[in-house]
Amino acid sequence: MTSTNVLKKINFSAGPAILPASVLQQASQAVADLDGSGLSILEISHRSDAFDSVLIETEALVRELMQVGDEYGVLFLSGGASTQFFYTAMNLLNPDETAGFLDTGAWSAKAIKETKLFGKVNVIASSKDTNYDHIPTGYTVPEGLKYVHVTSNNTIFGTQFREWPETSAPLVADMSSDILSREIPLERFGLIYAGAQKNLGPAGVTLVIVRKDLLGTVQRDLPSMLDYRVHIAGGSTFNTPPVYPIYVTMLTLRWVKEQGGVAAMQQHNERKAKLLYDEIDRNPKFRGTVANEYSRSMMNVTFECTNEADTQAFQEAAEAAGLDGITGHRSVGGFRASIYNSMPYEGVEALVKVMREF
């Protein structure tokens, strides 16, 4: 896997997150001059041939890397994953229908709240009572649900689905923090959405992959801007799209393909995660905060000092070594190392070195 970090600091931020060095270089060049056109990527028309080619390639790369067939629409929208919390329910769920949810953290809780504005909600399982420290198991998904919603990876608590719920209903997934990090059975998903700022590109664009036959089934009138069908028909240009974030997403997708695609990304991420978790489990100075190995995230590794009095000293040691962004989320404390696709193995080695020397 190509090393991506040429800076003195190593960015472990949960998002906006690290990007490949080659992507940053190309993106910065395009701000001054896009492919020798004499125009900046920031000032070209979203109706121009130059941007049309960007959109076409970006969609083609998503379809190739994730094996997305024509039965799905691929969209690049604004508003982040938080907008998709209600967007999905507005487009898929009638007032008398029920969506199932697995409540595994702050983001799924917010999606549940928004969905209740448009239909019924059945919280099938939750790990809230233990502060979301694990992915629930041992539940049964009832029949008759319109869809089942999951948040595939939880940035705050460091948990991730390893297996998908067994259900006859289509899955709807917020994959903002682990999209393209591993292979998935796409045929089981009716809709996937992901904010770009973890594995896809910069903040400002949201990827949506939606099965077309699920659309047009709700009884409510939809505003044009909130209707997936309108954006599919308009090729993500019904209104002015986020041109620059889409361009950087295209560059990032090119990089993923160059590395060997999603299968290679998965191997890369498993290797990084193993290195860090092995050190957490081995080192008496630290302990993981996720309840079991089955629930541990490959993207966001959460841990804390065994002795709370060591917390500040370790933070200072990490900062002195050029490790940035490892402070845990304010709601849980401790530490969080976000090791998305673009984090090189050498970056995780640098963190482990500090832990061993501490």
Catalytic residue numbers, as ranges: 107, 174, 198
Burial zone of 191 (CB within 10 Å; 0-12 exposed, 13-18 middle, 19+ buried): buried
Task: In whole angstroms, give the CA distance from residue 296 to residue 277.
Answer: 9
**Three-state DSSP class for residue 353:** helix
Beta carbons of 190 and 171 less than 8 angstroms apart: yes
**Three-state DSSP class for residue 50:** helix
Distance of alpha carbon 145 from its chain centroid, rounded?
A: 25
> What is the rounded (10 degree) CA torsion for 270, 271, 274, 279?
-150
**Three-state DSSP class for residue 62:** helix
Please choose, from the candidates 85, 112, 236, the residue with its C-alpha nearest in 3D space to the C-alpha of residue 174.
85
Please choose, from the candidates 69, 167, 66, the residue with its C-alpha nearest in 3D space to the C-alpha of residue 125.
167
Angle between helices 311-320 and 345-357 (to 10 degrees): 130
Beta carbons of 121 and 96 less than 8 angstroms apart: no
- My answer on whether omega of the bond before 20 falls inside 30° of 0, hence cis, is no
Residue with token string 């900062």: 319
Burial zone of 242 (CB within 10 Å; 0-12 exposed, 13-18 middle, 19+ buried): buried
Task: In whole angstroms, give the CA distance from residue 205 to residue 290.
Answer: 30
Q: How far is CA 72 from CA 39, 87, 208, 323, in A?
A: 34, 17, 10, 40
Q: Is the sign of the CA dihedral 271, 291, 178, 337 positive or negative? A: negative
